[in-house]
Structure 1
Amino acid sequence: MACSTHKQTANKSNSAYWPQSSGPNASWAVETDKEIPNDFSVRTGANILWTMDLPEVGQGGITVWKDKIFLTVMKPLYKVLEKQDLKTNTVLALCIDAKERKILWQKELVGATESPYFYGFSDSTSPSPVTDGTYVWFFNASGKIVCFDMDGKQIWERSWIPIDQLDDVHYPFNKQFEPILHGDLLINMETYWKKDGVREYGWNYLYGLNKRTGEEVWISEGSLTHYCTPTFNTTESGVSAMLIGRGAHHKVPESPKGYSLIDLNTGKSLWNYETDEGMAMYNAIWTPEYALWFTERENNVHKVDAKTGKLIEKISLSENISIRTYDAINQKYQLKENFSFQDPFFVFPAWYTNIIVNDKCYFMCFKKSDKYRLKNVKPEYSFGRIDLKTKKVEYLEVPVQYELVDGEKHYLWNVDIRTETRNVRELDVAFDKRSQRDGWVWNFNPNPILVNEKLFFTTMSGLVYCIDTSREKFDGESLLSISDLGPKGKTWTLNTPSFSEGKMYHRTSKSLICIGKN
């Protein structure tokens, strides 16, 4: 989620297509003169151009080039015996005709390690396809890349073994990396399994691959945890680079905790930032001016100089804040200004929801839970906004869901919502009950995207929040709409939407959805 220091997001593109999960210029943002509705509903059909059943669940992004749509799904299941056995190392690569709404071709990609189905913390389909209009590269996070031409002819394939266990430490299946195309380089994350002293055995690194052959051009000097989502931008001096992070739960080995800025021409580290707090379990967002490092319990965000890697300052998420909570009885917002959360309360920014727009950073907040050390988390069901120039921090509570009553939305506030984990054949294929939450606590959320000044966030329960980033105040008027991808309690997604030629594409566990004015 790379953004500039100017009035608009850096690399914000007006390209017609969406060639990778992070968009035309790997910025998660696009400018367009096309009209895109910020309010839509699969429940009512409002501004839904079409939907299409998918053969199985999946959570990777949707890649679009002209009338072709590329995405991956897990290997289809047709019966469920024991849920603990619902794992696979195989995904299906799909090429879909957007006009005919049919699968043109599909290919099987088999990896080395298994991932669970319907896992709220990523699966084998998590890395999204990438295309340049001539070729398309599909990824299986279980350890496989395959390059096809646009008609489905295989050009090359590459295999690796993702980290599953190192010494006596076993790692859950969490693969948050999103590949990007940079010129003739395809950037992937792979585990280094050589004991040669050149890199650390069992650590993850960026791999710069020749897009035409799959051969290694370079391996990054700095390492990264597989929990980190690196992001692309251009330095003040014009160098194309990706910011990568280390440090996360489950005893990940890469160290020291912090960031490295990687030159995409050489794989060398331009600088390193080391810290003793926080986690690299967020989008590694940066501009040519600064980078932001997030913390989970320490109530601050580190603002780092993007030219040197030196800490500029720490911005408090809990002191002298503005917070708007909703009074459901009187049906209006209440504002507290210059407010501070007192110990033991703390702010826990939701993983992978952070994005910079202009000089403001937006993110979701995790709600409280008696589990996972979150019983003292504040505020609940809220979005946060940080003004990176003034250091002002604001929070806005939003509805959790809504019921449709006689065609009108009746919003639900501050209630726990559960959702089903069923595939298109109505089989419950999730063995982990944490996958049936509402997306506001302890799960890996989809990345937000920016279309012009409209910012779209998606939750696990299939709600899409649209925020107006042009407003000076962060209040109820900033929330332009809350849309749905399907029925309440029966919709599930961990997908980042895509935007191409005036249409937004989204997906759930059951359907591919095309959104536009109807």
Structure 2
Amino acid sequence: MFVIVLVMVSTTFAQDRWPEHRGPQHNYHLASETTYPTRWSGTTNNNIRWRSPLPETGHSGIAVWGDRLFLTCFRKLTADDNGPKGTWVSETRGYCLDANSGKILWSCDLPGRRPNQVNGTFTDSTTPTPVTNGTHVWFVNAGGFMACHTLDGQRVWGKEFEVRTKHSAKQFQPFLHDGRLYYAMMRDAVDPKRRPQTASDYDKNSKTGWPWMYARCFDALTGKPTGIMPEGISVHSKGALGSLAGETVLLHAKGGSHNPPEKPYGIRLSRLNEAHKLVWERQGLSFEGTDFIDEKHAYCFDRNDFFVLDLATGETVKRIRIRGTGSLIAFDENAGRYRKPTDAPELKSPHLLTHRTNIGVGKYHFFMGGQPGILGRIDIETEQVSYLQVPVQVIVENGKKKFSWSEFKSGDATGSGFTVEGDRRRLGHGFGHISAATPIVVNNHIYFSTVLGTVYVVDATAELFDENALVAVNDLGMPGETWTLSPFTAAGGHLYQRTSREIICIGEER
């Protein structure tokens, strides 16, 4: 039987802290005796505790410790930031906010070295979520800068780092372990083991011309480099943290689209000790960033299948076919109700799932499909694959909520009112060849969100994956005026989320 043992953290810890992107248990799960909201509306302000405008747009998640929130935005954007390929900026700012009001308490400059596309389809310079331990907070600018601050805003250290190209650390999120800050980047230019650069600038498709990326670590209080995982890591690998025989391990991958130079392609498990010793590797599989770990297994997607791997050995325990199989419960708009299950091979999409959207809960594994308005679930015990159609957008007219199942309005208005230019894929429905926010699980409720600000709350324990498993479909704001690639954060009985224009605290006053 495949299970995730959800260890109940102390009540105080569960209520007050979401210290980094992966949450308090490093697996996007929160188990708490506190009740968290599942229904709200940003359009009608229903069950919204407060909302506060942000100075500028950004991708980062929100780190929480007690009454402090931490996130990253771009510095103020201007028309000078627009070029032939859209809006590209490297400089960002870190922010500390009051968790009770959203008021900005302090901010800091994170200058960066290489511009990234603002509101990028997958990431931008603001994508890394801050990390805090209650005494310090660490900000990372994916454009090439990291810094440590005290909780009252005093800078302890800051340092630049070199960025390879726009696909530099597309999925990886920084984290703390044993006094070290981890992030994915190249070896330093003076490192004799660094591979030379022969690719032209911003050529993301060069197969061999770029130096490799690595998961590297730095002394959290000094910024001094302290270690490197010698196996390398792809820009597509978000990295999954887990525990094996009492030691923390990182599941990391090579490979993916745009011909990452790190070879051989496959997936690896490494210990987070001084030597960063490799535990095992699996070559030849097209794993990207769609991985997850529980106590006994690693879970990964290939081009067509879902793999369950033994966490200790990397050997395949189960291989479950995903493409062209399963059942679908679709919504009949004319009848106004869900249909009976039908075969799912009619789901035709080149993408099995939307990037970064998979998560495990007990014997089930969930994901956003590659086709608009489709959520998927895999029963690992029975190997049954189930799909459920969900609305793509929430519309409120005359105070009444209704759903749109195919049509939608999009827009990424920024906190400053600046109009972003560039890749128009960011203005799509949020499924398929785009990243979405990594879902989180709070007390066995999954929170999926799309770029449109549509949020699906799913009962992860439901026996049948049908309309009854869909607890709620919520919105973060008006259609056409709401855009986000940021993950949810849960702390103190409230949910926190940010869009390109504001930060929102969801839930009643406690």
Distance 2:155 2:241 in 1: 28
How many Å apart are 1:319 and its aligned residue? 5.5
Residue 364 of structure 2 aligns with which residue?
360
How many Å apart are 1:299 and its aligned residue? 2.4
Residue 502 of structure 1 aligns with which residue?
493
**2:113 aligned counterpart, secondary structure:** strand
Matching of residue 22 in structure 1 with residue 22 in structure 2: yes
1:293 to 280, 287, 300: 300
2:473 to 462, 465, 482: 482
Residue 284 of structure 2 aligns with which residue?
275
Do 1:73 and 1:93's aligned partners in 2 also have CA atoms closer than 8 Å? yes
How many Å apart are 1:197 and its aligned residue? 6.0
Which runs of no fewer than 5 residues in structure 1 stay unpaired?
Answer: 165-170, 368-379
Distance 1:233 1:405 in 2: 46
Judged with a 3 Å threshold, the aligned counterparts in structure 2 of structure 1 residues 145 and 196 are, in CA distance, closer, same or farther, namely closer
Distance 2:348 2:124 in 1: 34
**2:91 aligned counterpart, secondary structure:** strand
Residue 396 of structure 2 aligns with which residue?
404
Distance 2:348 2:436 in 1: 26
Residue 464 of structure 1 aligns with which residue?
455
Distance 1:111 1:425 in 2: 20
Distance 1:491 1:23 in 2: 24
Residue 199 of structure 2 aligns with which residue?
none
Distance 1:30 1:77 in 2: 36
| Aligned 1:166-205 pairs, distance under 5 A | 172=167, 175-194=170-189, 198=193, 202-205=211-214
One-letter code of the match for 1:398? V
Which runs of no fewer than 5 residues in structure 2 stay unpaired?
Answer: 197-210
**2:478 aligned counterpart, secondary structure:** coil
TM-score, with normalisation over the residues of structure 1?
Answer: 0.89
Distance 1:233 1:174 in 2: 21
Residue 136 of structure 2 aligns with which residue?
135
One-letter code of the match for 1:225? S
Do 2:254 and 2:262's aligned partners in 1 also have CA atoms closer than 8 Å? yes
2:246 to 235, 238, 241: 238
One-letter code of the match for 1:253? P
Do 1:317 and 1:347's aligned partners in 2 also have CA atoms closer than 8 Å? no
2:268 to 245, 248, 260: 260
Distance 1:80 1:211 in 2: 35
One-letter code of the match for 2:301? F
How many Å apart are 1:344 and its aligned residue? 7.5
Judged with a 3 Å threshold, the aligned counterparts in structure 2 of structure 1 residues 21 and 196 are, in CA distance, closer, same or farther, namely closer
Residue 350 of structure 1 aligns with which residue?
354
Residue 202 of structure 2 aligns with which residue?
none
Do 2:349 and 2:370's aligned partners in 1 also have CA atoms closer than 8 Å? no
**2:425 aligned counterpart, secondary structure:** helix
Residue 34 of structure 2 aligns with which residue?
34
Residue 54 of structure 2 aligns with which residue?
54
How many Å apart are 1:5 and its aligned residue? 4.9
**1:207 aligned counterpart, secondary structure:** strand
Do 1:222 and 1:268's aligned partners in 2 also have CA atoms closer than 8 Å? no
Distance 1:515 1:269 in 2: 42
Distance 1:42 1:294 in 2: 34
Distance 1:191 1:81 in 2: 26
Select between 442-451 and 325-334 the one with higher mean Cα deviation. 325-334
One-letter code of the match for 2:392? V
Distance 2:392 2:428 in 1: 11
Do 2:214 and 2:233's aligned partners in 1 also have CA atoms closer than 8 Å? yes
Judged with a 3 Å threshold, the aligned counterparts in structure 2 of structure 1 residues 59 and 350 are, in CA distance, closer, same or farther, namely same
**2:354 aligned counterpart, secondary structure:** coil
Percent identity for Structure 1 against Structure 2: 30
Do 1:188 and 1:206's aligned partners in 2 also have CA atoms closer than 8 Å? yes
| Aligned 1:308-457 pairs, distance under 5 A | 308-318=313-323, 321-336=326-341, 339=343, 341=345, 348-367=352-371, 380-413=372-405, 415-457=406-448
Judged with a 3 Å threshold, the aligned counterparts in structure 2 of structure 1 residues 366 and 343 are, in CA distance, closer, same or farther, namely closer
Judged with a 3 Å threshold, the aligned counterparts in structure 2 of structure 1 residues 417 and 405 are, in CA distance, closer, same or farther, namely closer
One-letter code of the match for 2:181? L
TM-score, with normalisation over the residues of structure 2?
Answer: 0.91
Do 2:355 and 2:432's aligned partners in 1 also have CA atoms closer than 8 Å? no
Do 1:121 and 1:173's aligned partners in 2 also have CA atoms closer than 8 Å? no
Judged with a 3 Å threshold, the aligned counterparts in structure 2 of structure 1 residues 175 and 10 are, in CA distance, closer, same or farther, namely farther
Distance 2:3 2:77 in 1: 48
Residue 203 of structure 2 aligns with which residue?
none
Judged with a 3 Å threshold, the aligned counterparts in structure 2 of structure 1 residues 231 and 281 are, in CA distance, closer, same or farther, namely closer
2:222 to 209, 213, 228: 213
**1:223 aligned counterpart, secondary structure:** coil
Residue 168 of structure 1 aligns with which residue?
none
How many Å apart are 1:402 and its aligned residue? 2.4
Residue 249 of structure 1 aligns with which residue?
257
One-letter code of the match for 2:77? L
How many Å apart are 1:94 and its aligned residue? 0.7
